[in-house]
A and B are shown apart, each in its own frame.
Chain A
Amino acid sequence: MTRVATLLLLASLVAALAACGERPQVVNYKQGTYQGKRDTPPYQNPPFNGDKAAWERALATRAQAQNEYKRTH
């Protein structure tokens, strides 16, 4: 009985150690390539939800609002 308990204790200790996996604490630099987090395209999230064409239309409309000759003449 004592032997089984000891084996169980050892097994649980080994299992507990498995949680202490070694993660890299520093960035592994690759010269000349971006090392940071990935970014999502600006049309990926609300309000456009992936509709790239709608996003481009919205920006085109905004851009033309900068042309006052088109607006006043």
Chain B
Amino acid sequence: MARMKFLCDAERCIECNGCVTACKQEHDIPWGVNRRRVVTINDGVPGERSMSVACMHCSDAPCMAVCPVDCFYHTEEGVVLHDKDLCIGCGYCFYACPFGAPQFPQLGAFGVRGKMDKCTFCAGGPEKDNSPEEFAKYGRNRLAEGKLPACAEMCSTKALLAGDGEVISDIYRDRVTMRAARGTRSGPPWGWDTAYAPAASAPHPPAAAPAPAPAPAVPAGKS
């Protein structure tokens, strides 16, 4: 079986936070918990890059390695899930995760840690699929409905891809090949042409601007 993965195309992410909103809406996630977020490098500087980040469902997951109660497991599809009934909210997984994926709801005014919550690749958890118990603890199980994660399916620029690692690699490879084949027009190394490749019919390089009309000659003898 395939290994499910996320892939974010930094050339295309426009920091709209549609993925974050889709995730919160889909799973009814409480205030203060963000299973997904958009990180921007060089924010405000021309050429800034954004990246949608959540649990990357690592093949050798550090959260799984450090969990003192061993509440994590890999599904057959390579998705990293955990049993909230077992989680003690210690936060070790948060320290171990290089992506900051584990989230802890604030249950009280004194910052008490709740049980860890994280991206499930829309695959629910170890409760009966699509049961009210599963939704309450882990959110919706779209994978069991034959659907991909809501964040990727909602991505307007298709910057965020989700699914079988080999399939989304092929999709990304198509993109890069298309960009390389069509080249880029003169201009900065970001923007529409870099993200989507210039249109096949577009002039390459762009037509030169028309030369300004020559100034009318001054008749001789007049000064």
Interface positions of A (Cβ within 8 A of B): 27, 29-45, 47-48, 54-56, 58-60, 62-70
Instruction: State which of A31, A44, A60, A68 has its C-beta within 8 Å of the C-beta of B164.
Output: A60
- Residue B69 CB within 8 A of the other chain: yes
Q: What is the minimal beta-carbon distance from B79 to any residue of chain A, in angstroms?
A: 9
Shortest 8 CB-CB distances between A and B: which pairs?
Answer: A36-B83, A58-B146, A63-B163, A37-B126, A42-B144, A39-B126, A34-B73, A45-B129
Tell me if B175 and A62 are in contact (CB < 8 A).
Answer: no
A40 to B171, CA, bound (A): 30
* Chain B, interface residues (CB within 8 Å), range: 35 or more
- Residue B70 CB within 8 A of the other chain: yes
Binds A, one of B26-34, B44-52, B90-98, B147-155: B147-155
- Residue B76 CB within 8 A of the other chain: yes
A38 to B75, CA, bound (A): 10
Tell me if A42 and B126 are in contact (CB < 8 A).
Answer: no
Tell me if B148 and A63 are in contact (CB < 8 A).
Answer: yes
Tell me if A59 and B144 are in contact (CB < 8 A).
Answer: no
**At the interface, is chain A mostly helix, strand, loop or mixed?**
loop
- Residue B102 CB within 8 A of the other chain: no
Instruction: Enumerate chain A residues within 8 angstroms of B175, measured Cβ to Cβ.
Output: 69
Instruction: Enumerate chain B residues within 8 angstroms of A39, measured Cβ to Cβ.
Output: 73, 75, 81, 125-126
Q: What is the minimal beta-carbon distance from A11 to any residue of chain B, in angstroms?
A: 39
CB nearest neighbor in A for B125? A39
Instruction: State which of B77, B83, B86, B168 has its C-beta within 8 Å of the C-beta of A66.
Output: B168
Q: Which of B82, B144, B158, B171 has the most CB of A within 10 A?
A: B144
CB nearest neighbor in B for A32? B70
Q: Which of A38, A65, A67 has the most CB of B within 10 A?
A: A67
Tell me if B71 and A37 are in contact (CB < 8 A).
Answer: no
Tell me if B70 and A48 are in contact (CB < 8 A).
Answer: no
Instruction: Enumerate chain B residues within 8 angstroms of A66, measured Cβ to Cβ.
Output: 148, 152-153, 158, 161-163, 168, 171
Instruction: Enumerate chain A residues within 8 angstroms of B161, measured Cβ to Cβ.
Output: 66
Q: What is the minimal beta-carbon distance from B36 to any residue of chain A, in angstroms?
A: 17
A38 to B2, CA, bound (A): 20
Q: Mark B122-155, 1 if CB is under 8 A from A, else 0.
A: 0101111110000000000101111110001100
- Residue B104 CB within 8 A of the other chain: no
Instruction: State which of A38, A42, A65, A68 has its C-beta within 8 Å of the C-beta of B143.
Output: A42
Given A37-B126, A62-B147, output 15 extra A-B contacts at Cβ < 8 Å.
A29-B69, A36-B71, A36-B85, A39-B75, A39-B125, A40-B129, A48-B146, A56-B2, A58-B146, A59-B2, A62-B163, A63-B163, A64-B167, A65-B153, A66-B152
